[in-house]
Structure 1
Amino acid sequence: MTINPVLIKSSFAIVEPHGADVAGYFYQHLFEHNPGVRSLFAEHLSDQQDRLWAALGALVTHLEDTETLVGILQDLGRRHAAYGALPEHFPAVGASLLATLAHFAGEEAWTPEVEESWTAVYGVVSGTMSEALTAAKNSAS
């Protein structure tokens, strides 16, 4: 799988006007399909939704700036270690993220190539965050 920055940016441009609805849909999807992760989050999600939206924007903005992007993802991974996240949570998050992006992009824009590119991006995100999360948990024990 390859990352196509043009497809990532153009599909995100379609999703972006939906703003806070995107984050709300994401968490609804995540908790509906993975109720066991709900306890990792605060009762009220407004701050978390804002952070998710900001992280997605940063991901797209820095997609081609590897050094900055890796730094952001490593920081996110370390912070998620403190929240009790585990590497095995990443597939559920990825499935909900892709479902959310597909929903807001719409059938016409969410092509197999777009899905493949976002899947590849999430592979980098989850791999980088998972490594940092694991390292943080290991250094804390």
Structure 2
Amino acid sequence: MDPALIKSSFSAVQPHGTDVTAYFYDHLFEHHPEVRGLFAEHLDEQRDRLWAALGAVVSNLEDTPTLVGMLQNLGRRHAGYGALPAHYPAVGASLIATLEHFAGDAWTPEVEASWAAAYAVISSTMIDAAAAAGDPIPVG
């Protein structure tokens, strides 16, 4: 995982703002309709949360304690929403497809490999935190 590649490619994606998260959810639900039930009918707030989380992850790539704490909290919260370890690959595939779509010329095989490595760490940290918590954190 190369933080510089991730940051530069995310900088290329950022100007697209809410189009990024709209595309992500469209892609996710088109390719993995089985996860649609985990989300509210209207996704405006969820899109904002996703955008904020992506920005926070990218900003904290080199601050391991902050990043790990944030991801552990997200993992526990997602378990409370019904997210299962089996859902994470679908999310990762849609995230990579979305970033590739919006990054333009900034997207290279090296960037893709770096994002894939980053998502592997992100998802495993979230899954491990959810598993360690035992019972899901109540939602609401």
Bin the TM-score by the shorter chain.
over 0.9
Distance 2:135 2:50 in 1: 26
Q: Check conservation: 1:25, 1:100, Cα contact below 8 A.
A: yes
Asked if 1:119 corresponds to 2:116, the answer is yes
Distance 2:34 2:103 in 1: 28
Q: Output the TM-score relative to the length of structure 2.
A: 0.95
Structure 2 counterpart of 1:130: 127
Shift of 1:133: 1.6
Distance 1:93 1:61 in 2: 20
Q: Output the TM-score relative to the length of structure 1.
A: 0.94
AA matched with 2:42: H
Matches within 5 A, 1:85-124: 85-106=83-104, 108-124=105-121
Alignment partner of 1:84: what SS? coil
Matches within 5 A, 1:1-141: 3-106=1-104, 108-136=105-133, 138-139=134-135
Distance 2:51 2:108 in 1: 22
Distance 1:139 1:44 in 2: 27
Shift of 1:132: 1.1
AA matched with 1:46: D
Distance 2:48 2:20 in 1: 10
Unaligned runs of 5+ in 2: none
Alignment partner of 2:106: what SS? coil
AA matched with 1:111: T
Shift of 1:134: 1.8
AA matched with 1:84: G
Shift of 1:50: 0.3
Q: Check conservation: 1:78, 1:132, Cα contact below 8 A.
A: yes
Alignment partner of 2:98: what SS? helix
Q: How many residues align?
A: 136
Distance 2:115 2:91 in 1: 13
| Cα RMSD, aligned residues only | 0.8
Shift of 1:105: 0.3
